[in-house]
Homo-oligomer: A and B are copies of this chain.
């Protein structure tokens, strides 16, 4: 994805070959000034070489990480081969996400003795807002009507309200709790399924516990998924749950596509009596011929829920802190 001619290299302490090397081999555009302004943190600790594009070629990436002790990788998906190629010097890799298993095989890094650090909660508010934004597009249809204002001039349409619709949350971590707080302001009763119900947090947010995942799907007008993806949650939502949704119900997924069994969402949408707002897909990018694209009762965004300035800044800060901590023999956000 490198754009021709615009990549630049930013270095810090370039002459200090006595210091260990920190490599920032790729960088989201919004993060470039954020990382650049934080490189002071490495003074007297490390040299830094930073590239400001989103290169994906493994040979180029390997050369950019050559000789590095620490890699601030943000969004690199490491193949086994790429990891092996950098493992002679790299001892710590930081990622710009919470679920590092999406980026790297942790069994491999463990075997190679490479420490892996993540970033946490940086996107809770952004993703919670995006779940609400998807609900609004499914009800108030601002984006759809705005698009029609040009060719249709004055499209005739009714809209719907969210207030008084029961919101069912599957998962009640940092994001689910923010969604509950926003929904309360919107006047939506909130019911929650969580593996470990936190009665105090529920009470504080005016939410109530559901007895099971099925209970949420049967009772809620809007079901929003806020679970981490792992062996226990993969495919947890299947036809049985989706078929409990009542006509008019909405399903919101800003978490991970793999929480839903393959094909189940498409089968439920094909009945035409529910709507869905989806920011996450499997695989990503969603292929041009993906069946999900054929439904007009789904609103889709390209996994952008977390891509806000606040979230980018949180990732940069946490990744810099993790790298600095590693160089000082300390630990911060260490996953493995």
Question: Contact residues of A with B, CB < 8 Å?
Answer: 30, 125-126, 129-130, 132-134, 136-137, 139-147, 149-150, 153-164, 181-187, 277, 284-286, 288, 293, 299-302, 304-305, 307-310, 312
Contacts and interface: CB of A to CB of B under 8 A. Distances in A.
A293 B150 contact: yes
Contact of A146 (B125, B129, B300): B300
18 contacts: A129-B136, A129-B140, A130-B159, A132-B136, A140-B304, A141-B143, A142-B299, A143-B144, A143-B146, A143-B299, A146-B301, A149-B302, A157-B304, A157-B307, A158-B308, A163-B310, A164-B310, A182-B186
A130 to B, nearest CB: 5
Contacts of A155: 302
A178 B183 CA distance: 13
Contact of A142 (B185, B187, B301): B301
Nearest to A294: B150
B307 A159 contact: yes
A126 B309 contact: no
Contacts of A277: 142
Contacts of A184: 185
Contacts of A143: 137, 141-147, 299
Most B C-beta atoms less than 10 A away, residue of A137, A157, A184, A299: A137
